[in-house]
Structure 1
Amino acid sequence: MNVPERPVRPGAGGPRRKPGRLGVGVIGAGRVGAVLGAALRAAEHAVVGVSAVSEASRERAENLLPGVPLLGIEQIVERAELVLLAVPDDALPDLVSGLAAVGAWQPGQLVAHTSGRYGTAVLDPARRLGAIPLALHPAMTFTGMSLDLTRLPDCTFGVTAPTAVLPVAQALVVEMGAEPVVIEEEDRVLYHAALAHASNHLVTLAAQSTQLLGSIGVERPDRMLGPLMRASLENALAAGEGALTGPVARGDTGTVAAHAAALAEAPEDISRAYTRLAAVTASRALERGLLSPEQERAITEALAWPEKEESE
C-alpha cells in the first residue's frame, strides 16, 4: 500500500515492519475500535497503542488486541502513523479540536475516524496541522467480539477522503477484508440515516414483536420470528417491494382493522409503530401499483379508526 512518506522517530515504530505497514494507534476500544484494530493487525500493521477507559473496553482490548499497551490519548497520537478514532459521534469534534489545541497532530500522519455521520470536515483541526484525514465507517453492527472479524468480508465501508489519498483509504478497507464504497462529504448524514433506519429500527421491530408474542405465552418468540424475519429480509433485498406480502399488500382491510383494534390494547409504542408503518407501507404499495387508490384509502381509514374512537 502506498502511503505518504513520514519519518519514523527512533524507537517509535518498535520492530521493523514490512514496507507499507503502519504503526496504528486506536483511540476508543469500543465494539468498533477494538475489532478494526484487530483487523488491521491481521493485515500486518502494528498496533502501537490503544486507549481504553471503562472496564469493558479494557477487557475488549485485552481479548482482541493482546499485548498492545494501554496508553493515554496523547501518547497514542505521538506514536502512531495512523490514528484510528473510534469514539461516539458527539465526542468526535471536541476530541479532534482538543488534540489540535495542544499541537498533538503531526504532518503526514493519517487520521481516520469511524463515524457514519461525519465526513472529513470534522478532522479539519488535524488537517490544518498537516495530518491527512480519512473517514472509514463500517456498515455493520458489531458485538465487540472476535466473531465480528468473520463478518468483515461481507461488510462494506462508507469511505470519504481527499481525492489524492482516497486510494489509501480504500486500500485500508480492502486490507481489513471489506469493500470500500465512496460517499461524498455532503451525503454522509443521509448515508448514516439510511443505515440507522435499516439496522436500529429492525432491532426495535424485532423487540416489539417479541414482546407481543411473549405476552400471549409464546415461550420462544425468537424461534418463531427468526426464520420469518430472515426470509423477509432476504426477499426484500433481492426483490425490493415486489417481495411484499401480508394483509396490506393484499388490500385485506378487515384484517388490518382487526390488527389495529387488538393493538389498541398493547403498549402505545407498539400500536403507534404498527399503524404508522402500515400506513407508510400502504402508501408505497399504492405508488407501485400493488394497491388501488380505493384499497389504500380503506386501509388508511382502518388504521385510523381506533384512534378516532378513543378521541370521541
Structure 2
Amino acid sequence: MAIKPGRLGVGIIGAGKVGAVLGAALRAAGHAVVGVAAVSEASRDRAELLLPGVPVLEIPDIVERSELVLLAVPDDALPGLVSGLAATGAWQVGQLVAHTSGRYGTGVLAPVKAAGGIPLALHPAMTFTGMSLDLTRLLDCTFGVTADAPMLPIAQALVVEMGAEPVVIAEADRVLYHAALAHSANHLVTLVAQAAQILGEIGVEAPNQVLGPLLRAALENALASGEQALTGPVARGDSGTVAAHTQALREHALDTSATDIVDAYLALSSATAVRAVRRGLLSAEAYLGVQAALGMDDGGAPDAQHPQEPTTEESD
C-alpha cells in the first residue's frame, strides 16, 4: 500500500473521547474515515455524534480497509492490541499506524514496523470532553510526535492538518514527557477540587467564583513569567502564615478525614520552597523557616549559596 500525498482512508480503533475527536478532525481535513471500532454504548453514541455516517466495524475489518489506522486505546491495552493484530497478520506493508498514547513512542509499534508498516506516535497535549467543542480546542493544541526520522514529516503533516502544532519528542523521553503533562493537568484538577472542598465546607456558596479569577490569573502569569510570577507566603518566607496553614489543615484532616489535602499542601509547599531558593527568590534563612513551619526535616537549603539564575528560556 503506497503512501499517498493526498487523502487517506482512516480507521479509528477506540471511539473514546480522543479517538472520536481526532477522527472528526481528520475527516474535516478531507480524509475518509472508513470505519470505527466502538464497543460501549457511550462510544457508539460518541461515534454517531462526531462521526455521523461512519460504520461501526470489527477491528480486523478496520485494519484491512485503512491506509491510516489510528489506535486511540488506553495505554495498558496498546501493546496487547498491536501484538495481537500482528499475530493474525493484519498489519500491511506501507500502512500508516498511529497511536495516541503519551507514554509510548514508536517502540510499542515494533510489530507494525516488522510487517512493513509505518509507526507513528501522535499524542495530543489536551484534555477532551468527547464533544464537538473539542475540535476548536485542537487549534490551540500541541501534539507530542515521535517517528523514525524519514517518516517524521508524515506525523507532523497529520497534526498540522488537524489544526494543531507538532512538537517532536524523542523516543527515550516519552515517559517523562507524559509525566510532565499528567503532573500539571491532572494534579491541577485535584488541587482545585481540594480548594473548592475547603471553601464549601466553611460556607462559601460558590467556590468556583472565588477560585476562577485567581487561578486563571495565576496560570497566565506562570505561563508568561515562569517562577518569577510566584507569590504567596512560601515565596515571601512568611513562615508564621505557613505554620498557621499547616496547623489549620491538620485540624481539618482530623475533623474530616481528608488527609489528602494537608498532605498535598505540605508536599507542594516544600517543593515550592526548594525551587524558590534555587532561583534566588527566597533566602537560605527564610527557606529553613518555611521548612520548619511545615514540620519538614531539612538539613539545609539546596543550592542556597549558589541559586540558579533564571534563564530567558525558563522565564518565557
What's the TM-score once normalised by structure 1's chain length? 0.92
% same residue: 74
Equivalent position to 1:220, from 180, 184, 206: 206
Q: Name the residue aligned to 1:101.
A: 87
Q: Name the residue aligned to 2:311.
A: none
- For 2:125 and 2:295, locate their aligned partners in 1 and report how far apart those are by CA, in whole Å: 36
Residues 1:43 and 2:29 aligned together: yes
The runs of 5 or more residues in structure 2 that have no matched partner are: 253-257, 297-316
Q: Name the residue aligned to 2:124.
A: 138
Q: Name the residue aligned to 1:122.
A: 108
Q: Name the residue aligned to 2:288.
A: 297
- For 1:149 and 1:35, locate their aligned partners in 2 and report how far apart those are by CA, in whole Å: 7
Which is worse superposed, 296-305 or 101-110?
296-305
Map residues 111-260 of structure 1 onto 2, 5 A cutoff.
111-260=97-246
Residue 275 of structure 1: CA displacement?
0.8
Equivalent position to 1:264, from 250, 267, 289: 250
The runs of 5 or more residues in structure 1 that have no matched partner are: 8-18, 306-312
Equivalent position to 1:287, from 278, 298, 305: 278
- For 1:6 and 1:156, locate their aligned partners in 2 and report how far apart those are by CA, in whole Å: 24
SS of 1:264's equivalent?
A: helix
4+ residue runs over 2 A deviation: none
- For 2:43 and 2:144, locate their aligned partners in 1 and report how far apart those are by CA, in whole Å: 25
- For 2:55 and 2:204, locate their aligned partners in 1 and report how far apart those are by CA, in whole Å: 48
Which amino acid is the alignment partner of residue 162 of structure 2?
M
How many aligned positions are there?
291
- For 2:100 and 2:92, locate their aligned partners in 1 and report how far apart those are by CA, in whole Å: 20
SS of 2:122's equivalent?
A: strand
- For 1:182 and 1:83, locate their aligned partners in 2 and report how far apart those are by CA, in whole Å: 20
- For 2:19 and 2:67, locate their aligned partners in 1 and report how far apart those are by CA, in whole Å: 16
User: What value does the CA root-mean-square deviation take over the aligned residues?
Assistant: 1.1
- For 1:268 and 1:286, locate their aligned partners in 2 and report how far apart those are by CA, in whole Å: 27
Residue 231 of structure 1: CA displacement?
0.6
Q: C-alpha offsets along residues 52-92 of structure 1, whole Å, 9 cap, x if unaligned?
A: 01111110000000000000101100100000000000000
Equivalent position to 1:29, from 15, 21, 30: 15
Residue 240 of structure 1: CA displacement?
0.4
